[in-house]
Amino acid sequence: LDPGRHDGTGSLLKIGGKAATSPAENYHLARRRTLQVVVSALLTECGFESAEKAAVETLTEMMQSYITEIGRCAKAYCEHTARSIPTLSDTVVTLIEMGFKADTLPVYAKRSQRMVITAPPVTNAPVTPKALSAGQKRTHPAHIPGHFPEFPDPHTYIKTPTFREPVSDYQVVREKAASQRRDVERALTRFMAKTGETHSLFKDDITAFPLIAAQPSTIPYLSALLPSELELQTLEETDSSEQDDQTDSENAAGNIISDDPGADKENSMLPPGGVVPSAKASEDNVIDNPYLRPVKKPKVRRKK
- Residues 253-282 within binding reach of another protein (CB under 8 A): 253-254, 257-258, 261, 264-265, 268, 271-272, 274-275, 279, 282
Among 89, 155, 217, 277, binds another protein (CB under 8 A): 217
Shortest spacing between CB 261 and another protein, in angstroms: 5
Closer to another protein by Cβ: residue 44 or 198:
198
Return the range that interacts with another protein (CB under 8 A); candidates 72-80, 138-146, 155-163, 287-295.
287-295
Closer to another protein by Cβ: residue 96 or 173:
173
Closer to another protein by Cβ: residue 18 or 302:
302
Spell out the residues 6+ positions from residue 56 whose beta carbon is closer than 8 angstroms to its own: 36, 39, 40, 43
d(CA 286, CA 289) in angstroms, rounded, equals 9
Closer to another protein by Cβ: residue 22 or 268:
268
d(CA 247, CA 223) in angstroms, rounded, equals 18
d(CA 272, CA 253) in angstroms, rounded, equals 10
Shortest spacing between CB 54 and another protein, in angstroms: 59
Binding residues with another protein: total (CB under 8 A):
80
- For residue 93, state whether it binds another protein (rule: CB under 8 A): no
Closest Cα to residue 128, out of 244, 4, 227, 280?
4
d(CA 207, CA 48) in angstroms, rounded, equals 68
Residue list 70-89, contact with another protein (CB under 8 A): none
31-37 contacts: CB < 8 A, separation 24 or more? 31/120, 32/60, 32/64, 33/120, 34/117, 34/120, 35/60, 35/63, 35/64, 36/60, 37/117
Closer to another protein by Cβ: residue 63 or 257:
257
Instruction: Let me know: does 137 contact 150? Beta carbons within 8 Å.
Output: yes
Residue list 153-212, contact with another protein (CB under 8 A): 170-171, 174-175, 177-179, 182, 185-186, 188-189, 192-193, 199, 201-205, 208-212
Closer to another protein by Cβ: residue 105 or 213:
213
Task: Provide the mask over 233-252, with x wherever binding to another protein is found by CB under 8 A and - wherever it is not.
Answer: -xx-xxx-------x--xx-
Question: What is the residue type of 79?
Answer: E
